[in-house]
Amino acid sequence: MSSTNTLMVLQKRRRRSLLRFLLLLALGAGLWLTLQYLNVRLERFATLFDRLGTLLATRYYPPDFEYIMRPRFLQSVLETIHMALLATLAGLLLAIPLAWLAAFNASPLPGVGKSAARVFITGARAIHEMIWAIVFIMVLGFGVLPGVLALTLGCIGFAGKLFVEEIESIDDAPVEAMRAAGAGPLAVFFFGVLPQVRTAFIGIGIYTWDVVFRSATVVGFFGAGGMGWYLRRTADQLQSDRVAAIILLIAALVVISEVISHHARTALEGRTGQRVLAR
Amino acid sequence: MFESSDMAQLRFVPARHAAPAAALAEPLLQVENLRVRYPGAPEDVLRGVGFTLAPREFVAVIGASGSGKSTLLRAINRLVEPSAGSVRLGDIEVTALQGGALRRCRRRMGMIFQEFNLIERYRVLDNVLLGRVGSQQALRALFSIYPATMIAEAAALLDRVGLGAFLDQRVDALSGGQRQRVGICRALFQAPELLLVDEPTSSLDPRIANDIMAQIRDLAQESGVAALCNIHDVALARQFASRVIALRDGIIVHDGPFDELDEAALGGIYAATDRSRL
């Protein structure tokens, strides 16, 4: 019996090794086929940086910083920040209950409710914010609202998926204790699930803000509010010095946002870490 | 009316350990022909288990790992779904309940867990208050809005087990023994009629294990609560329980006082477990 088992295990290991080798081979072949299909000429990379440098030096330098200091443009920057803030808050508040419904180990509606929540989160993630923005502009017209809605859906898709994964990896013990005490589904979520994922949820929330803010700077490209509209107008009018100033401002804002997020995350992790050490 | 299988189980309880006649006439818990099979498992974990438990009775359940002890407790409060059989708590058929009715019934059964199952991030007092989370509005509990009398009651219970000085301490800063005491208080704070105790001392050293068992027994007696207690340690079962139910491979092989179990019988209970069930 034992030798038969050993033989089976050896055969399984051989099959797994062969499978790994075949997978690696398929990956290499796929990469080569893609390069052939797209007709990518690798030698063109050699001149990329030279041409980019020339273009930046002749057309994008010096950036027109005066343009981005105009009150109407600054107003669009504030609008962008508010759009990102609103979409992040709304998206996170909607993503949490959706993730709870969608998680296989904690869903209060394990049948249709779980499937519907999963489809919603996957659907929101499957379509890019820019596409959502175009869809909402077609329905609602130009303005901030389609932008906020598009960003909110993007936020639900992004944060919802991560929230589901966090909930699905919790320890079942506190959930079991709450169920044993006769707690209802809401109480089980609040006291069995939420305390275990709270720190992770805050971290994901901060990261989601980063992602949403980056998207908020460009949804206006299609007329969905914010500074993106100015980027498109100046690009269409070939005002490269203004485009350069706007891109630099976006980069600076994203960096500032990420620095603040990083400090918030570090503070959070530091606090959690100290508690772990204090045990 | 009892079916013949119930009577067969009842005859194992000798007169000197039996509960009062009135209690026997109306057992607190009646388990009949209980079967549990986990999804995808080739065979039942519990194979027709049946017994009764009188009010205030303290019964130990012993058996090797994989014999079905934890499954039995979880099938009684329906954390695990029985595949056949009946569980009655008082006059309520637990196996027939759904939704809110099942939750209300669970509030009558406190559970103490092997790994404590506490909310690690919460403070000691809040964990105990969660014993009554089922009867509180979830939003009120979320914002820690409890009546002052309830808080005083929880504090008194914690004081009783020697944790009066730790009310505001986070649970993850406590030792194993202290955590289990919090778990005991949480279960008793439910004001249950029945305590389901699942190997409460497995994670603790022998001296603390003894203290914990003594506290469970004493508090159950003081509160007039019946207890069904899984114990892996035979010596502890002998010391604390008036009656022992022994499980082997999902079947009750003994139900009666510990004195009736000799070394050979104990050897049979612990040695003959089907290894594929472990």
3-state secondary structure chain A: CHHHHHHHHHHHHHHHHHHHHHHHHHHHHHHHHHHHHHCCCHHHHHHHHHHHHHHHHHHHCCCCHHHHCCHHHHHHHHHHHHHHHHHHHHHHHHHHHHHHHHCCCCCCCCCHHHHHHHHHHHHHHHCCHHHHHHHHHHHHCCCHHHHHHHHHHHHHHHHHHHHHHHHHCCCHHHHHHHHHCCCCHHHHHHHHHHHHHHHHHHHHHHHHHHHHHHHHHHHHHHCCCCCHHHHHHHHHCCCHHHHHHHHHHHHHHHHHHHHHHHHHHHHHHHHHHHHHHHC
Check whether A248 has a pLDDT greater than 80. yes
Picking from B259, B253, A41, the residue whose alpha carbon sits closest to that of residue B270 is B253
What is the C-alpha to C-alpha distance for residues B27 and B2, in angstroms, rounded to an integer? 11
Which tokens in the block code for residue B66?
């994989």
Q: What is the pLDDT of residue A272?
A: 56
In this predicted model, what pLDDT tens digit does every residue of B165-181 receive, in sequence order? 999 999 999 999 999 99
Phi-psi region of A176 (alpha: psi -120 to 50; beta: other; left: phi over 0): alpha
Q: What pTM value is reported for the model?
A: 0.80
Q: Quick one: average pLDDT of B145-166?
A: 92
Strands B243-248 and B46-53 come out as unpaired
- Rounded to a whole number of angstroms, the distance between the first and last alpha carbons of chain B is 37
What is the C-alpha to C-alpha distance for residues B69 and B170, in angstroms, rounded to an integer? 31
Per CB-CB distance under 8 Å, the chain A contacts of B106 are 179-182
Strands B109-112 and B92-93 come out as unpaired
Bridge partner residues of B52 (DSSP): B30
What is the C-alpha to C-alpha distance for residues B218 and A32, in angstroms, rounded to an integer? 75
Cβ contacts of A17 within 8 Å, gap of 6 or more: none
**B73-76 contacts: CB < 8 A, separation 24 or more?**
B73/B111, B73/B196, B73/B197, B73/B198, B73/B228, B73/B230, B74/B198, B75/B34, B75/B36, B75/B46, B76/B29, B76/B31, B76/B109, B76/B196, B76/B228
Q: What is the pLDDT of residue B8?
A: 36
In this predicted model, what pLDDT tens digit does every residue of A21-79 receive, in sequence order? 999 999 999 999 998 999 888 888 888 888 888 988 888 999 999 999 999 999 999 99
- Contact between B71 and B46 under an 8 Å Cβ cutoff? The reply is yes
Q: Quick one: average pLDDT of B110-137?
A: 91
Asked if the C-beta of A113 comes within 8 angstroms of chain B's C-beta atoms, the answer is no
d(CA A108, nearest CA chain B) in Å: 11
Domain positions in chain A: 2-50, 64-278
Q: Which residue of A has its CA nearest to B133?
A: A183
Amino acid occupying residue B47? R
Q: Do B104 and A182 touch (CB under 8 A)?
A: yes
Q: Do A183 and B133 touch (CB under 8 A)?
A: yes
When the pLDDT of each residue in chain B is averaged and rounded to a whole number, the result is 86
ipTM confidence: 0.84
Q: What is the SS3 assignment for B147?
A: coil
Answer yes or no: CATH 3.30.70.20 is held by domain A64-278: no
Q: Which residue of B has its CA nearest to A195?
A: B121
Q: What is the pLDDT of residue B5?
A: 40
d(CA A19, nearest CA chain B) in Å: 28
Q: Quick one: average pLDDT of A77-93?
A: 95
Cβ contacts of A107 within 8 Å, gap of 6 or more: A100, A101, A113, A114, A117
- Contact between B233 and B201 under an 8 Å Cβ cutoff? The reply is yes
Q: What is the pLDDT of residue B274?
A: 52
Mutate to test the interface with A, among B133, B135, B144, B172 (most CBs of A within 10 A): B133
Q: Quick one: average pLDDT of A169-186?
A: 93
Q: What is the pLDDT of residue B23?
A: 45
B:54-113 residues touching chain A, CB 8 A cutoff: 77, 79, 100, 103-107, 109-111, 113
Picking from B5, B35, B53, B58, the residue whose alpha carbon sits closest to that of residue B215 is B58
Asked if the C-beta of A183 comes within 8 angstroms of chain B's C-beta atoms, the answer is yes
